[in-house]
């Protein structure tokens, strides 16, 4: 008789965004005239930039012509894209990363979720709290986290690293040494960043203890301040302790096109074994490559025109972030993030819980955000708004919140 992977049963309730979606749908069906503004889920709203659309068209034409048609892409990605990434994202920042250390994929979510497969099932993971849920959930599915304790809302086998107002939402080095450390900066959900000297401490800690840092840099393109590293490979010694994930989703609006990549240095080892060949094997066995036309679109992101266009889009979102930050601060809210990341992290007013504030915001001003507690117990009393809305909706949402009295 077939049985199931019972680890899946340890995952509590429904996924955060399904729970939010359900509440919003129920509200809208009860109030059909309400004009609900969504600043909750982190999806982009700006269309694909013209030079990238042009590259998509050109690649599509190639696919329709016998002389230029392409079948399966190389497992690890086309050389034209990997070489461009190595040059523009790494060499230009002084990072020593070769093209063949870059694994092209259809996005960072799959890579962040799948990477745990190449590590031992007895590895202890450490995550920030609050955290992007994929890191924990994928380890739950693999049976690496122990039982869920509904009382503490934590898995017994996971090391949680609190990110609170007291530490500026950046974690302290854990006293109990983890094997795998998930870090994400600029951070989703808090919008916090680590300065280079801070991240260097993590790299030194990992090298000293034989831990591997799984570094999610999906929001790298939003960094505006000096001294904030765009890649963990800007830190000395990262090649021997780090894997990095990148995404085209927020950088260039590829949430629907799907493109990302993972960097695994060839010298990186765990327990005396190299990790690069394991990920190459996994990729080759379970993945048949990102589509040619999407990889060509990814290449177009790095052209001068592509860069100019995506910079403009990022500026648009970050102007939204400023509108939210300034507007809510004027209304008396404590707000952080939104400077090097498209996320604003607010403290809920009057001691409301995250979900109480969610319900109030939805019913009183018809604005949807994300309850901080959905990202972990330390997110309680916090709330995330995103800068990915249209300008019009962003301004309207801030005005509504400012005018509403609690
Ligand atoms: N990593 C973080 C921290 C994210 O917030 C997201 C998307 O919201 C992803 C990864 C997923 O990126 P992708 O769209 O490339 O799968």
State if residue 115 touches ligand 1 by the CB under 6 angstroms criterion. Answer: no
What integer pLDDT is reported at residue 18 of this predicted model? 84
**Which positions ≥6 away from 60 have C-beta within 8 Å?**
293
H-helix or E-strand containing 54? helix 50-63
State if residue 253 touches ligand 1 by the CB under 6 angstroms criterion. Answer: no
Q: Whose CA is nearest to atom 3 of ligand 1?
A: 188
Q: How far is Cα 134 from Cα 159, in angstroms, rounded to an integer?
A: 15
Residues carrying CATH 3.90.1150.10, the chain: 12-46+305-403
pTM: 0.97
State if residue 249 touches ligand 1 by the CB under 6 angstroms criterion. Answer: yes
Residues carrying CATH 3.40.640.10, the chain: 52-302
State if residue 220 touches ligand 1 by the CB under 6 angstroms criterion. Answer: no
Quick one: pLDDT band at residue 14, thresholds 50, 70, 90?
low
Quick one: pLDDT band at residue 192, thresholds 50, 70, 90?
very high
What's the N-to-C CA distance of the chain in angstroms? Answer: 57
Residue 43 Cα to ligand 1 middle (Å): 10
Quick one: pLDDT band at residue 134, thresholds 50, 70, 90?
very high
Per CATH, which fold does 52-302 belong to?
3.40.640
Q: How far is Cα 181 from Cα 325, in angstroms, rounded to an integer?
A: 30
Q: pLDDT tens digits for 76-133?
A: 999 999 999 999 999 999 999 999 999 999 999 999 999 999 999 999 999 999 999 9
Residue 218 Cα to ligand 1 middle (Å): 6
What integer pLDDT is reported at residue 115 of this predicted model? 98
State if residue 216 touches ligand 1 by the CB under 6 angstroms criterion. Answer: yes
State if residue 341 touches ligand 1 by the CB under 6 angstroms criterion. Answer: no
Q: pLDDT tens digits for 313-331?
A: 999 999 999 999 999 999 9
Determine what percent of the chain is predicted with pLDDT higher than 90: 95
The answer to whether the CB of 85 falls within 8 A of the CB of 102 is yes
Residue 69 Cα to ligand 1 middle (Å): 31
The angle that helices 292-301 and 50-63 make with each other, rounded to 10 degrees, is 150
State if residue 114 touches ligand 1 by the CB under 6 angstroms criterion. Answer: no
Before 186, cis peptide (omega within 30)? yes
DSSP3 helix / strand / coil % (the chain, rounded to 5): 45, 15, 40
pLDDT score of 227 more than 90: yes
Q: How far is Cα 198 from Cα 117, in angstroms, rounded to an integer?
A: 28
Q: How far is Cα 31 from Cα 19, in angstroms, rounded to an integer?
A: 18
Domain 12-46+305-403 has CATH 3.90.1150.10: yes
pLDDT score of 71 more than 70: yes
State if residue 371 touches ligand 1 by the CB under 6 angstroms criterion. Answer: no
List C-alpha distances in Å: 383 to 191, 270, 297, 323. 12, 37, 34, 17
**Which positions ≥6 away from 394 have C-beta within 8 Å?**
39, 320, 323, 324, 387
| Alpha-carbon Rg for the chain in angstroms | 21
Q: pLDDT tens digits for 247-296?
A: 999 999 999 999 999 999 999 999 999 999 999 999 999 999 999 999 99
Question: What's the whole-number average pLDDT of the chain?
Answer: 96
Determine what percent of the chain is predicted with pLDDT higher than 70: 99
Kindly write down the DSSP assignment for every residue of 368-394, as one continuous string: E-EEGGGG-GGGTTEEEEES-S-HHHH
Q: Which atom of ligand 1 is nearest to the CA of 132?
A: 3
pLDDT score of 75 more than 90: no
pLDDT score of 171 more than 90: yes
Q: pLDDT tens digits for 359-392?
A: 999 999 999 999 999 999 999 999 999 999 999 9
């Amino acid at each position: 008789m077939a049985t199931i992977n019972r680890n899946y049963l340890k995952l509590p309730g429904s996924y955060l965004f399904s729970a939010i979606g359900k509440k919003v749908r129920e509200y809208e069906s009860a109030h059909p005239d309400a004009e609900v503004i969504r600043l909750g889920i982190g999806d982009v709203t700006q269309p694909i930039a013209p030079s990238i659309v042009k590259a998509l068209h050109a690649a599509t034409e190639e696919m329709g012509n016998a002389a230029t048609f392409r079948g399966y892409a190389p497992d690890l990605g086309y050389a034209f894209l990997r070489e461009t990434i190595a040059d523009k994202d790494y060499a230009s920042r002084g990072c020593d990363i070769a093209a063949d250390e870059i694994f092209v994929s259809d996005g960072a979510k799959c890579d962040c979720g799948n990477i745990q497969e190449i590590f031992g099932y007895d590895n202890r993971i450490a995550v920030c709290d609050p955290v992007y849920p994929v890191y924990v959930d994928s380890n739950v599915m693999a049976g690496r986290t122990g039982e869920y304790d509904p009382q503490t809302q934590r898995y017994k086998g996971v090391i949680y690293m609190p990110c609170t107002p007291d530490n500026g939402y950046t974690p302290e080095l854990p006293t109990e040494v983890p094997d795998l450390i998930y870090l994400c900066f600029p951070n989703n959900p808090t919008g916090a960043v680590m300065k280079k000297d801070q991240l260097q401490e993590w790299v030194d800690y990992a090298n000293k203890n034989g831990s591997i840092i799984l570094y999610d840099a999906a929001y790298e393109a939003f960094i505006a301040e000096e001294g904030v590293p765009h890649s963990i490979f800007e830190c000395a010694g990262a090649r021997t302790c780090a894997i990095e994930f990148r995404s085209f989703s927020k950088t260039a609006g590829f949430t629907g096109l799907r493109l990302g990549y993972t960097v695994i240095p060839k010298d990186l080892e765990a327990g005396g074994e190299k990790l690069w060949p394991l990920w190459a094997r996994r990729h080759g066995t379970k993945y048949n490559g990102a589509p040619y036309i999407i990889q060509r679109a990814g290449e177009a992101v790095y052209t001068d025109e592509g860069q100019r266009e995506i910079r403009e889009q990022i500026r648009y979102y970050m102007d939204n972030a400023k509108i939210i930050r300034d507007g809510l601060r004027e209304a008396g809210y404590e707000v952080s993030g939104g400077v090097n990341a498209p996320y604003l992290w607010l403290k809920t007013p009057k001691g409301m819980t995250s979900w109480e504030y969610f319900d109030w915001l939805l019913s009183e001003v018809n604005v949807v955000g994300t309850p901080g507690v959905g990202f972990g117990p330390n997110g309680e009393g916090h709330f995330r708004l995103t800068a990915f809305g249209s300008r019009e909706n962003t301004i309207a949402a801030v005005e509504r919140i400012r005018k509403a009295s609690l």
